[in-house]
Structure 1
């Protein structure tokens, strides 16, 4: 892979990591404290994350990266976990959109309303479809915890490579030169 392609791949990885970790932390905080003022931001950045993951998938399809695990006994597992993480990156915002949209809360990209709130005559939120809203809420929550666990596994694997295997996996993703003691 050309150096410029590697830089773009690395940038996608770290921008996505920052955005997703921030959204996840805010989501966990909101779910546990019912801090409704943050939902607008959570939804907007969730839509941005969806656009980024779509761009990242197109990039990855065109510029296939070669895993450091290629040829090892762990190659299939590593590939599966990466693909599963990418699938969850798509499913998280989509399930959030189903939840928020069908539950009547609507969603927007900052002030651009994509699905408006569904308010009744007393200005109370009314679901467009209660069953789909409830299903979206359940999926969004479950997928969020599953995703959090997989991200922890992903970070743990990177740290294992760096501190136990003493290979260049983490240094490569951080764009660092090989260290002297590996």
Structure 2
């Protein structure tokens, strides 16, 4: 089973559980059409939690390159303000671009003329031994910090294994790059 399939199943399970707990709202205006609203933040946090084990990122060796996919996190972009990561360190000194949010399709993968812009980073073969990542929610709070490594013998499939999980000591108010004080 591919990593993408595991991610999709994890996302779907989290979404169904959160949607079942959401109250139904009647439209309160005289407009002809229902105005889309983003699902509650709790749904997105459940999705992130459900995807921790299969991987917030996925590693793949393909066509002489190492690709690291951020697909699962793009499906949560409407409630994220930032994705912080670092390759082969824990500095969290890089940012992965989030696609624009479309409230009508909040979980779709963003369109782009550049196929990798919102999907993956490209490195030399076996370039990343680890990738450390943290997401920052729209309210400024940060997720736990997770370090992933490629699965053994992943080849052209996609896979990630958790190497380490750190809990942030305090709520983030405004993330700053590594080396700068808060």
Normalising to structure 2: TM-score of the pair?
A: 0.27
Of structures 1 and 2, the larger Rg is shown by 1
Normalising to structure 1: TM-score of the pair?
A: 0.27
Q: Relative contact order (alpha carbons < 8 A, sep ≥ 6): 1 or 2 greater?
A: 2
Larger fraction in strand: 2
Larger fraction in helix: 1
